[in-house]
């Protein structure tokens, strides 16, 4: 429906629906009122809000280490977490980019362990394992069910590729 910039028919028409899909001109109603629909959107960062990311990360890391023949002992886990935390600090400070971080964390771990494993392959396997673990926080499913009935929910993990690996749609 075409409306003028003031929302009323005039000699100067423009396609208001393209700029505001929730506004429409209703010629059938007395006085030709403008009706606006309101949608509510809640955006969740699923990691640490709905999903227990720490538990998912731990499982994915253990799976990765064992798959590459690396013992998943506490010392190895602690080393990885220290390396990863330091790299995320550098990322947050703008010193490094995300691809470097994802590669370097396993590269440094392999260096510390005296191993020759492929860090890119390790990270790819780790991210795949991470996408397979979806441990919900307590009451997250109930909250999602309530919100699903009343809103349009969008999951947004830190890495959108995780959604596609898990078979879920992502928003770009």
Let me know: does 134 contact 51? Beta carbons within 8 Å. Answer: yes
Res. 1: pLDDT tops 50 = no
pLDDT value for 79: 96
Indicate if the pLDDT at residue 26 is higher than 50: no
CA angle 77, 44, 136 (to 5 degrees): 50
Per-residue pLDDT tens over the stretch 53-94: 888 899 999 999 999 999 989 999 999 999 999 999 999 999
Q: Are 157 and 45 in contact (CB under 8 A)?
A: yes
Give the separation between CA 5 and CA 115, rounded to whole angstroms: 67
Q: Which among 152, 167, 121, 156 has a CA at the least distance from the CA of 50?
A: 156
Is residue 87 within 8 Å of residue 106, measured between CB atoms?
no
Confidence at residue 157, expressed as pLDDT on a 0 to 100 scale: 54
Q: Out of 3-12, 38-47, 50-59, which region has the weakest mean confidence (pLDDT)? A: 3-12
Sign (positive/negative) of CA torsion 163, 52, 72, 84? Answer: positive
Rounded distance between C-alpha atoms, residue 49 and residue 112, angstroms: 33
Give the pLDDT mean for 2-11.
Answer: 39
The CB-based long-range contact list for 20-25 (8 Å cut-off, 24+ gap) reads 25/1
Q: Average of pLDDT values for 43-53?
A: 69
User: b/e for 154-172, b at 16 or more Cβ within 10 A?
Assistant: ebebebeebbeebeeeeee
């Amino acid at each position: 429906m075409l409306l003028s910039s003031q929302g009323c028919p005039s000699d100067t028409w423009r396609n208001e629906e393209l700029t505001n899909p929730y506004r429409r001109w209703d010629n059938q109603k007395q006085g030709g009122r403008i009706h606006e629909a309101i949608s509510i959107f809640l955006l969740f960062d699923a990691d640490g809000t709905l999903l227990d990311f720490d538990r998912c990360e731990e499982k994915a890391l253990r799976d990765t280490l064992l798959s590459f023949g690396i013992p998943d002992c506490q010392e190895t886990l602690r080393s990885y977490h220290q390396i990863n935390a330091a790299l995320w600090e550098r990322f947050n400070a703008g010193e490094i980019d995300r691809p470097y971080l994802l590669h370097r964390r396993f590269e440094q771990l392999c260096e510390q362990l005296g191993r020759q494993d492929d860090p890119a392959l390790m990270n790819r396997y780790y991210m795949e394992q991470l996408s397979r673990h979806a441990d919900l926080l307590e009451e997250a499913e109930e909250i999602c069910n309530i919100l699903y009935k009343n809103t349009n929910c969008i999951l947004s993990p830190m890495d959108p590729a995780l959604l596609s690996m898990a078979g879920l749609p992502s928003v770009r």
